[in-house]
């Protein structure tokens, strides 16, 4: 009898980080991908726009990749699609709203025509090669989110996707606990589950709580109301719109991404806007202040966002006025706290009343807290468990939680991106690694900015640059003009004329030294200039600007 193929799970992103989620599931010679997300750059990635997973492994096994399955429409799950599909064009499966958002992306990249998108609904079971793929409804901070069960001859793999257990969801579509229980009853070989909120005890509150807080705030607000939240949180937008309608206010949308989501979500029937409620921004500006609600992005303090520009008095159409109520309906993602705090300060200074995270009920998370994670583990009782979607300590905590519930520690895998985890009906093991990592996207360049470019950018950002220009005679190595020095970001030249003169002298001395030692190669001369000038400047200023010698020959 031929040996039965094994089931392998290969995380290509999302482990040890929050972002660029992507998991390859391999059975024999067949691969499906779950999610295809991006990550926003970290602070030290200067000038980088987005970060996507390294897909070298997939490119090496291109003909085996059968499709991409999407859990939901957040950027950390769909954001890398245009880049990946350009290299591996396979069918994409997802819910209606998820694919609606994907379409917008593909259109921006001029790829809509080339990609096959297939809409699936919760409880649909489709065949992708040897895989029977089932979609199961979950609650999350974007509608139409689904867990994915992949049934294979050796057993079932369940990926929860991002989820929470909301007993009173805004759209009435409750997480399909009966289906999860049934899967658990039948037996699940491997489960991968969301670790984002594993550090929080108890249950995550229902999204409906936010609606109640909106209602309370609207009832007391005398003037204009401005709500900043994630564009993709359609349920929250719905609650804002519903409450606005109740208090006879009109709603205007500020910011391109928010306008885009409002359009897609209402076209697809996920957002219900009462007739006449939505108005253009300039119309809102003409209405009495107590008749207006503005919805905007920028709840993370993103420097280019509408809210930041509004707070900095730099928005073309929106000025903050004394008496405005501003609701920041989000928690800063770790790393963004300072940006958000600065915006809140600024808004207070402009005379607004700001309601933010510290006030309970203005934001609830879309991810499960400990009790929900336990409930999922107990419903499924998987043989093997892989915590995903979290930084390393979160994966560790989630593993602990699973152990407390009786999953043997040898059946729990705290993995890393690129690690191959292989399972048969009875055993699971780690089996080497494949290439994985991050690919940086800057403008139109994908992967062309690496460590060397980033190191240069870092140096430039810290101490600036000095450009030394000398014109020389090729025949006899005589200096014909210069040296001239141009600097940016190093010192304020007008106040440092002395230093600049001394620097020029240093360059001249360096050139004389070259002459005496018989150094006539341009590259060697440049290196002497760089070393001598660098040493001099460091002694004088304790700074290390980038030095760029240019020798022009005539």
Interface residue list for Zn ion (CB under 5 A):
74, 76, 162
Min dist. Cβ of residue 258 to Zn ion (A): 17
Instruction: Tell me how far apart the alpha carbons of residues 28 and 131 are, in angstroms, rounded to a whole number.
Output: 11
Min dist. Cβ of residue 147 to Zn ion (A): 12
Binding-site annotation: residue ranges for Zn(2+): 72, 74, 76-77, 140, 162, 389
Phi, psi dihedral angles at 32 (to 5 degrees): -120, 150
Q: Which of 166, 194, 324, 463 is catalytic?
A: 194
3-state secondary structure of 48: coil
Instruction: Tell me how far apart the alpha carbons of residues 229 and 233 are, in angstroms, rounded to a whole number.
Output: 7
Min dist. Cβ of residue 416 to Zn ion (A): 18
Q: Which of 151, 235, 367, 398 is catalytic?
A: 367
Min dist. Cβ of residue 38 to Zn ion (A): 11
Min dist. Cβ of residue 140 to Zn ion (A): 6
Task: State the number of CA atoms in the 13 A half-sphere of 431 facing the CB.
Answer: 13
Instruction: Tell me how far apart the alpha carbons of residues 130 and 123 are, in angstroms, rounded to a whole number.
Output: 19
Binding-site annotation: residue ranges for Ca(2+): 47, 49, 442
Instruction: Tell me how far apart the alpha carbons of residues 15 and 22 are, in angstroms, rounded to a whole number.
Output: 9
Instruction: Tell me how far apart the alpha carbons of residues 393 and 195 are, in angstroms, rounded to a whole number.
Output: 10
Min dist. Cβ of residue 369 to Zn ion (A): 15
Nearer to Zn ion among residue 35 and residue 442 (C-beta): 35
Binding-site annotation: residue ranges: 47, 49, 72, 74, 76-77, 140, 162, 231-233, 363-367, 389, 442
Closest to 328 in 3D by CA, of 306, 312, 317, 313:
306
Min dist. Cβ of residue 5 to Zn ion (A): 30
Nearer to Zn ion among residue 54 and residue 76 (C-beta): 76
Min dist. Cβ of residue 76 to Zn ion (A): 4
Q: How far is CA 531 from CA 510, 515, 522, 526, 543, in A?
A: 9, 16, 14, 9, 14
309's tokens? 């520009």
The answer to whether the beta carbons of residues 184 and 380 sit under 8 Å apart is yes
Nearer to Zn ion among residue 74 and residue 159 (C-beta): 74
Nearer to Zn ion among residue 162 and residue 176 (C-beta): 162
Strand order in the sheet with 7-13: 117-119, 92-94, 65-69, 30-34, 22-27, 7-13, 419-423, 428-433
Which DSSP category does 199 fall into? T
Residue 137, H or E segment:
strand 131-137
Nearer to Zn ion among residue 22 and residue 414 (C-beta): 22
Residue 432, H or E segment:
strand 428-433
Q: How far is CA 34 from CA 78, 292, 337, 423, in A?
A: 10, 42, 31, 18
- The question of whether 319 is a catalytic residue gets the answer no
Give the list of residues 6+ apart from residue 98 with CB closer than 8 angstroms, or none. 70, 71, 72, 73, 78, 144
Cis before 353 (ω within 30): no
Longest Cα pair distance anywhere in the chain, in angstroms?
Answer: 88
Closest to 84 in 3D by CA, of 34, 158, 139:
34
Min dist. Cβ of residue 194 to Zn ion (A): 8
The answer to whether the beta carbons of residues 183 and 155 sit under 8 Å apart is no
Instruction: Tell me how far apart the alpha carbons of residues 390 and 35 are, in angstroms, rounded to a whole number.
Output: 15
3-state secondary structure of 337: helix
- The question of whether 367 is a catalytic residue gets the answer yes
The answer to whether the beta carbons of residues 200 and 369 sit under 8 Å apart is yes
3-state secondary structure of 389: coil
Known catalytic residues are 194, 367
């Amino acid at each position: 009898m031929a040996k039965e193929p094994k089931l392998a799970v290969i995380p290509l992103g999302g482990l040890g980080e929050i972002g660029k989620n992507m998991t390859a599931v391999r059975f024999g010679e067949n691969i499906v991908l779950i999610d295809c997300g991006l990550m926003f750059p970290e602070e030290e990635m200067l000038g980088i726009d987005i970060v996507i997973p390294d897909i070298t492994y997939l490119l090496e096994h291109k003909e085996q990749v059968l499709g991409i399955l999407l859990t939901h429409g957040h950027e950390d799950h769909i954001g890398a699609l245009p880049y990946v599909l350009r290299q591996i064009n396979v069918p994409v499966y997802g819910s209606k709203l998820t694919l609606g958002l994907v379409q917008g992306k593909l259109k921006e990249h001029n790829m809509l025509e080339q990609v096959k998108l297939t809409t699936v609904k919760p409880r649909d079971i489709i065949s992708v090669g040897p895989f029977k793929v089932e979609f199961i409804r979950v609650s999350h901070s974007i509608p139409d989110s689904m867990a994915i069960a992949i049934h294979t001859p050796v057993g079932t793999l369940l990926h929860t996707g991002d989820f929470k257990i909301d007993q009173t969801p805004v759209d009435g579509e409750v997480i399909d606990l009966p289906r999860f229980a049934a899967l658990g009853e039948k037996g699940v070989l491997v489960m991968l589950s969301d670790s984002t909120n594993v550090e929080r005890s108890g249950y995550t509150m229902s999204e409906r709580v936010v609606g109640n807080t909106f209602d309370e705030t609207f009832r007391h607000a005398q003037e204009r109301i401005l709500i900043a939240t994630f564009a993709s949180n359609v349920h929250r937008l719905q609650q804002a719109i519903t409450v606005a309608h109740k208090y006879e206010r009109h709603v205007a949308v500020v910011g391109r991404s928010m306008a885009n989501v409002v359009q897609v979500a209402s076209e697809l029937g996920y957002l219900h806007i009462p007739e006449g409620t939505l108005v253009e921004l300039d119309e809102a500006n003409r209405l009495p202040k107590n008749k207006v609600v503005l919805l905007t992005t920028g709840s993370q303090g993103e420097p280019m966002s509408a809210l930041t520009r509004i707070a900095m008095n730099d928005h073309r159409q929106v000025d903050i006025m004394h008496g405005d109520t501003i609701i920041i309906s989000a928690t800063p993602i770790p790393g963004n706290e300072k940006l958000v705090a600065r915006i809140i300060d600024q808004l207070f200074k402009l005379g607004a009343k700001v309601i933010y995270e510290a006030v309970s009920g203005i934001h609830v998370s879309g991810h499960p807290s400990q009790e929900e994670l336990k409930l999922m583990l107990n419903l499924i009782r998987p043989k093997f468990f892989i915590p995903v979607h979290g930084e390393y300590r979160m994966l560790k905590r989630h593993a602990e939680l699973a152990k407390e519930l009786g999953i043997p520690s040898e059946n729990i895998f705290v993995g890393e991106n690129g690690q191959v985890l292989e399972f048969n009906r009875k055993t699971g093991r780690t089996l080497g690694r494949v290439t994985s990592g991050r690919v940086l996207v800057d403008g139109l360049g994908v992967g062309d900015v690496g460590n060397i470019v980033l190191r240069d950018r870092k140096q430039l950002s810290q101490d600036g640059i000095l450009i030394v220009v000398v014109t020389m005679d090729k025949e006899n190595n005589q200096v014909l003009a210069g040296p001239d020095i141009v600097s940016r970001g190093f010192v304020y030249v007008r106040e440092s004329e002395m230093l600049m003169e001394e620097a020029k002298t240093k360059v001249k001395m360096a050139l004389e030294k070259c002459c005496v030692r018989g150094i006539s190669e341009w590259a060697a001369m440049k290196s002497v200039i760089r070393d001598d000038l660098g040493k001099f400047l460091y002694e004088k200023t304790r700074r290390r600007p980038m030095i760029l010698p240019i020798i022009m020959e005539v």
